Amino acid sequence: MDPSSLLQYLITGLTLGSTYGLTALGFTIIFNTTGVINFAQGEFVMLGGMMSVYFMHALGLGEPSAVVLAVLGATMAGALVERLAIRPVRDCPTINLIIITIGVSILIRGLAMLLWGKDTHVLEPFSGNQPIMFLGAAIMPQAIWVLAISLFLLAALKLFFSGTIHGKAMLACSFDSKAASLVGIGVQRMVLLSFMISAFVGAVGGVILAPITMTSYDVGIMLGLKGFAACILGGLGNPFGAAAGGLILGVLESMGAGFVSSAYKDALAFVILLILLFVKPSGLFGPKDSKRV
């Protein structure tokens, strides 16, 4: 095994992993506010990519403005999901809300299929297609975009949750929504905000990924699944853990394909996930004690 192949697997894994990590971040934000796992998160990622393509082709916009519009559009979709699907049944147990998000994801996917068709689409890379050669491994400029934007989002979210009054209010809602409302936090507004932020993060992910992975109405299924696995791996509720979990999952898959067998790369990644959860059920970076008071 030569070092340049090893480096190539690592770079591939990190690029792939940041796609999982971004999806995982979205899961974390909503979970942190509501305790709900939003299974429509993958659909927000899809909306980001598909709307960019749609705005570029149907409205003839340039890529930058189409991308901005798409991210705004997906954020609005996040708000709509909260208003129309979550708020009317907000007093139901969490498990019902989770099932509702599964329904929402099927609905969004179906609408996207009817509106935009079943074809796969490509988005042009932001800064060209010419790979950068680094110690014998090829790095795509888009991969650097993905890694940089993911890190930036992660830092911004960290700052938001620990440094701003809104962020802290959202965390308070997840610990105890009744107590949060007693101290004057608008719990419903926080839930709405969390759906919008996670749709925003998802859509940004979808947009920066589309040049690498291409996009179609059903890319959300697999991304959602892998993103959820990344969340669990990193420890549910920890934004840093979600991102790290994504990267680890991506690198495991890529190394698995490279060193073991590409047929078993998904299985390999998930077997390691299972073993890890047997050893440390709260995830790599999850809280030591699973009971929070």
Partner 1 sequence: MKATKCVVALVAYLLACVPAFGGDAIKIGAILSVTGPASFLGEPEKNTLVMLQEQINAAGGVNGQQLEVIIYDDESDVNKCVMAAKKLLDQDQVAVVIGPSISGNTLAISKFFSSAEVPLISCAAAEKIVRPVDPWIFNTPQLDRHAVSRILMDARDKGYKRLAILTVSDGYGQAGRAVLKELVPAEGFELAADEVYGPKDTDMTAQLTKIKGASADAIICWGTNPGPAVVARNRVQLGLDTPLYMSHGVASGKFIELAGDAAEGLVLPAGRLVAVDQLPADHPQKPVLEAYVADYTKAFGPQISSFGGYAHDAFALVMEAIKMGGSAKSGDIRDNLEKISGFAGTSGVYTYSPENHNGLDESAFIMVTIENGTWKVLN
CA 156 to CA 80: how far, in whole Å? 24
86 binds partner 1 (CB under 8 A): no
Q: Are 26 and 199 in contact (CB under 8 A)?
A: yes
Q: Are 203 and 66 in contact (CB under 8 A)?
A: no
- The DSSP bridge pattern shows strands 137-139 and 132-134 to be antiparallel
Q: Which is nearer to partner 1, 18 or 177 (CB)?
A: 18
- Using CB under 8 A, which of 24, 66, 140, 243 touches partner 1? 140
- Using CB under 8 A, which of 38, 194, 216, 238 touches partner 1? 216
Torsion sign across C-alpha atoms 219, 127, 52, 98 = positive
Residues between 244 and 263 with contacts to partner 1, criterion CB under 8 A: 253-255, 257-258, 261-263
Q: How far is the CB of 266 from partner 1 (least distance, A)?
A: 6
Q: Are 37 and 243 in contact (CB under 8 A)?
A: no
Q: What is the DSSP string of 263-288?
A: GGHHHHHHHHHHHHHHH-TT-TTS-S
208 binds partner 1 (CB under 8 A): no
Residues between 261 and 290 with contacts to partner 1, criterion CB under 8 A: 261-263, 265-266
Q: Which is nearer to partner 1, 94 or 262 (CB)?
A: 262
Cross-strand bridge partners of residue 45: none
What 3-state DSSP class applies to 121?
Answer: strand
Q: How far is the CB of 225 from partner 1 (least distance, A)?
A: 10
- Mark 101-130 with x for binding to partner 1 (rule: CB under 8 A) and - for no binding: -----------------xxx-x------x-
Residue ranges binding partner 1 (CB under 8 A): 2, 5, 8-9, 12-13, 15-16, 19, 118-120, 122, 129, 131, 133, 138, 140, 209, 212-214, 216, 219, 221-222, 253-255, 257-258, 261-263, 265-266
